Structure 1
Amino acid sequence: MIKVENLTRTYGAFTAVNDVSFEARPGRVTGFLGPNGAGKSTTMRVMVGLTPPTAGSVTIGGHDYRDIPNPGRHVGVLLDASAQHAGRTGREVLTIAAQTMGLPKARVDEMLALVGLTPEEAKRRVRNYSLGMRQRLGLANALLGDPSVLILDEPANGLDPAGIRWMRGLLRGYADRGGTVLLSSHLLNEVQLIADDIVMIGRGRIVAQGTPEDLVASTGTLVRAVELDQMKAALTGEGLAHTVVADGLRVDAEPLQVGKVAAAHQVALIELRPADGAGLEDLFLELTADTQRESFTEGVQA
């Protein structure tokens, strides 16, 4: 199990990760979603000891990653498929890793076959690999030590649709056998197909977490008001949790309850409607609206 507790990482005045807490549990695939710059990669780097935390902690199986003996036998990591020795062949990359972990050479052939790299491809230099082939090699490296935990940053990058489906089946089978899988991705629909749990992050903070079904089903109420600050204060005073969504709010309550709060505090509403029925992608875009570089406008003609 991966346990993240009150994790914070700052770089001078910039806070990359701000008081983040969540768990990735055995037998489950946890999807870690967020826009570029949201803090996903920083969080994963802290997990595997590449970046020290400013505050808080991350433990894997109850241990700090740096304290795990022969960590590749317990934790498989793929953070950057391009960070492999370009001058070595795919087979050499895996052979060196196997020797480092004390594994038999036969394990290299098993992994090459598992990720679909042919004997001819295994003889090629990594510099001549496509991004998809590097992803497959990186997955082979992560799985080489038969670990109980996988930490994967954007593992589907560069894979074609057939490759994405293959990876989905591979990770699903791994989790079904009791493994812990944490993967980050921007491919929201793909994550929804494989993930048992979702953690959404924006501007270094967790904005939502739960199962895909719960996140979509319990989306609450969307409300827009003329006096938005007054509406926020009214909701806070009534103990109703709310999140800023574009120019409105998402409230963890039924529309009737939200409407009564607005009436009691004489707040003029522009919009009040249930937020359910939205897909995971809609929820993600709404919860991270203030972190998006692009804006989306419906009905614009070309």
Structure 2
Amino acid sequence: MAVQQLFSLIKQSPTAALRLAELAELFAGMLTPDDLGEIVGALVQRGYLQAGRPGEWRAGPRLNALFDEQQRKQPAYSIFSNIQSSPARMIDIRDQHSGQVLASVDALWFDRDLVTLEGRPVNVEWSDGEALWVSSSGGESVAPPPIYRSASQLLSYELARLLPEQLGLPAGAAPLVAEPDGWRWFHWLGDLYGRAALDLLRYRVPAREAGPASLCLGLPEPLLPPVAWTVPQVEQYLRDSYRQYEPQLNLGPFQQFLPATLRRRAVVEQFDVARFLAAVAALQPLAASETLAAELDELLQR
């Protein structure tokens, strides 16, 4: 968020410049003057800022190019929002006679001769690579809808922890299912915490993937007693693996503009180590009956 606001401030500033004292006042309680100095230094090094008068920074060549991109319908980085733009390429649908833009859709529509627009079939007359030019269709046939395939969604800890209740298990129950090559442990930690648990366990035992990391993992032997990590251990793991967790934590498109020290710190803060350790400590491993093992296997097949 800080980088996006810095860029926005320069764009809106009457002097088109920033001063560190003004930034320190603006971000008081969020970032220290040293933090801001690191951010500005990193942006100068990458060409987004350049020194102006003493104690002042102005837009560098890369930031000026980014300002120019704001004229596009979907800039890769919007200086007015910390929300990531959709990576899907959008195209215009235009009336072939008037040139009027009737709609903006994604590029999946490029591969068809007939499309349905607001419930009405229209003919695709031609395309110039940026737009579809259409005319009214006299037919009654309805165009086949585009096939959308979404990326798999992350399962949060809040949702994953509700699954044991649906199986009639008590709170904290973490079933162990016997398998030919070891045990499958259901921890219900969700994608974020499940991945961390798997990686941290690998420092002690040869843990492995054995299904969705959000729900379970494979072990050579049951965990008796349950695992326990310290706050410094988890924080160090996160600092070492920060790039892996940035996309999962939705830290915004400008996260990569920060210096590495602040990127690591943001991951540690957003991960919430205390909640992770509490979630793991609450788990109570138990041997699954044949009936429960069958229900868990069915769950994984869904």
Q: So what's the TM-score if we normalise by structure 2?
A: 0.25
Normalized per residue, which structure has more strand? 1
Larger radius of gyration: 2
Q: TM-score by structure 1 length? A: 0.25
Taking CA–CA contacts closer than 8 Å with sequence separation of 6 or more, which of the two structures ends up with the larger relative contact order?
Answer: 1
